[in-house]
A and B are shown apart, each in its own frame.
Chain A
Amino acid sequence: MRRKSDKPIKITEVCLRDGSHVMQHQYTEDQVRRVARELDEAGMHYIEVSHGDGLGGSTLQYGKSLVDEMKLIEAAVDECKNSKVAVLLIPGIGTVHELKQAHDLGASLVRVATHVTEADVSAQHISMARELGMETLGFLMMAHMAPPEKLVEQAKLMESYGAQAVYVTDSAGALLPHEVKERIAALRDSLSIEVGFHAHNNLSLAVSNTLAAIEEGATRIDGSIRCLGAGAGNAQTEVLLSVLDRMGVNLGIDIYKMMDIAETIVGPMIPRPQEINRGSLVLGYAGVYSSFLLHAERAGQRFGIDSRDILIELGKRKVVGGQEDMILDVAAELAKARKQEV
């Protein structure tokens, strides 16, 4: 494999954070301990643990956590001998107070996430994380909604606040391979820090997009084992690692062990298979935040509406990550309009 960066690739397993959406935030301490312990043994580089919407995300808007995320973070740290525990922080949802708490419990990396055009809300959190001595990365979400030039402008802001890498985050799983390439290339050319890529598999492109990103120089890469992430999941970690291995890139993570964890631990834990169903396909097709899927399905049932209609309408209204309240609002509106038509 020809890569445009000579830095080592570092993988972050996100099933205990992004997968929290699929688990409807009902992870038990036991599950987290078991998954973290096994991933650590497999040699995973980073393991992200937080509510699906990041620190402080346990809300009526996004779903309440069964177990306080701080307890889960503490448990994961306790289980990991080599892997580092990472957390997600979305300014506007979580604050520096939760970040400090997670850091005190042993989290050593944070991804500070904003909508792709709103990087300037992350300044205080990025600088605080650096002060705490955490590895600090920026996460530009819904990257398909802005052209590469805008992405560069926003990534530079995060770099100026102290971020040590910036991710192109395809929250909707809507980016096509050439769009991933141009975005990663643009960041690689204009930043002096590392570039990362976070995929969603809604259009069945997560692994191929991730390969395209790596070729263009991305070195911070996310995956979810057994696709345990919002929507149709992320780049399936054990698949991605196997493909990279075939291409001559060995990351020091035990592939057989990853397959076993997927098969015997994570698979049985997942409430339904993480396949691309019509709901997750529409997320990618309409460019909608992946965690909206289950909320839209529930709202569709409640109001007797096809959840695809809700998602398509949300895409038209250019709704951004975190606006889960719009799902109920739009569903109620569509139901009312239907009634009037009849």
Chain B
Amino acid sequence: MVKIKAAIIGSGNIGTDLMYKLERSEVIELTAMIGIDPESDGLKRAKERGYLAYDNGIEALKHNPDLAEIVFDATSAKTHVRHAKVLTELGKLAIDLTPAARGPFVSPAVKTDTYLDEKNVNMITCGGQATIPIVHAINSVADVSYAEIVATISSKSAGPGTRANIDEFTITTRRGIEEVGGADKGKALIILNPAEPPILMRDTIYCEVKNMDEAAITRSIKQMVETVKEYVPGYRLKQEPLFDGSRVTVFLEVEGAGDYFPVYAGNLDIMTAAATRVAEDFAIHMLEKQSVETKG
């Protein structure tokens, strides 16, 4: 089968885990890993697995524009702002895993057809990827006036980037809850727990709804859990949803696939898994367009 070519910029933890996820894709062919540190574990592993490995950053793509049609950016917000310009000039589709948010927020579990014409999309945050689908599921049957999420992650899975700018997490996730989840108003909290052995990522979602319908809400939540499970098999409800007046409370647990990250780091896993799924949706769309053009 014909596949769409893709490259990863950023050979850190996220980029490296993404590499393993893309390896399994039936519609994407990973060609290259692009970093800036030749000694990075990510670039070494990429080489070992037979991918092209570049250590000159975005320059690599400028010199070899045929490497990829889809480019994942797993660097930093600041760097992505610079990359976004170059990628637009080169006519590449950018899947942005940084908090830069140059393009619209996307979750692959929520109405994928609305963003397939974009050239740059943003993956929000790990807490957003875990909870926004549920907010959306509740909103679609009960109209959510307020949604609040609490993401608790193991200290070990919180990298220096997250720690240095934790406000970015709470603010970006809140926007995602509103813009993609559909809540009138959102709020996000994040808690780091240092317990050993490390805890799995857990998320609690509180929604205040306008049209309470316990059966419809429960059904919609469970359907959504199945949808997310397609790309994050370890995504599950911890309890049956709790109802209290106009309030719904949902408890989730996210176990990672254990590719590059240990399984407890469900928060990191759900980012790379969701980015892979978004890219696959784009790839299928591109392949369909190509086949129509060929036939035409």
Residue ranges of A at the interface with B (Cβ–Cβ < 8 Å): 59-61, 91-93, 95-97, 115, 117-118, 120-121, 123-125, 317-320, 322-323, 325-326, 328-329, 332-333
Contact = CB atoms under 8 A, between A and B. Distances in A.
B194 A328 contact: no
Contact of B167 (A91, A319, A322, A326): A91
Interface string B133-153: 000000000000010101010
Ranked nearest first, the 4 interchain pairs of A and B with the lowest CB-CB distance are: A325-B204, A318-B195, A60-B206, A95-B167
Contacts of A123: 163-164
Contacts of A322: 189, 191
Nearest to A114: B192
Nearest to B167: A95
A92 B206 contact: no
A100 B193 CA distance: 27
A124 B166 contact: yes
B155 interface: yes
A326 B150 CA distance: 10
Interface string B253-289: 0000000000000000000000000000000000000
Interface residues of B, number: 31
Contacts of B170: 92-93, 95
B295 to A, nearest CB: 53
B242 interface: yes
A124 B164 contact: yes
Nearest to A329: B251
A333 B208 CA distance: 23
B191 A320 contact: yes
Nearest to B249: A328
A319 B193 contact: yes
Given A115-B194, A318-B195, A328-B249, 19 more contacts: A59-B148, A60-B206, A60-B208, A93-B189, A95-B170, A95-B171, A117-B194, A118-B155, A118-B194, A120-B163, A124-B164, A322-B189, A323-B150, A323-B191, A325-B204, A325-B249, A325-B251, A329-B239, A329-B251
The A interface, classified by DSSP as helix, strand, loop or mixed, is: mixed
A102 to B, nearest CB: 15
B166 A61 contact: no
B189 A318 contact: no
A120 B162 CA distance: 10
Contact of B204 (A117, A124, A317, A329): A329
A73 to B, nearest CB: 19
Contacts of B247: 60
Contacts, number: 82
A118 B242 contact: no
B165 interface: yes
Given A117-B155, A124-B167, A329-B251, A61 B192 contact: no
Nearest to B239: A332
Contacts of B187: 59
B276 to A, nearest CB: 28
A115 B239 CA distance: 27
Contacts of A328: 242, 249, 251
20 contacts: A60-B146, A91-B166, A92-B169, A93-B170, A115-B193, A117-B194, A118-B155, A123-B163, A124-B166, A124-B167, A317-B195, A323-B191, A325-B150, A325-B152, A325-B249, A328-B242, A328-B249, A329-B204, A329-B251, A332-B239
B167 A61 contact: no
Interface string B174-211: 00000000000001011111110000000010101000
Give the most central of B152, B166, B206, B208: most A CB within 10 Å. Answer: B166
Contact of A329 (B191, B194, B238): B238
B183 to A, nearest CB: 12
A124 B192 contact: no
A91 B190 CA distance: 8
Contacts of B166: 91-92, 121, 124
Given A320-B193, A325-B204, A325-B251, A61 B171 contact: no
Contact of A115 (B171, B192, B242): B192
Contacts of A115: 192-194
Given A61-B150, A91-B166, A92-B170, A332 B189 contact: no
Contacts of B239: 329, 332-333
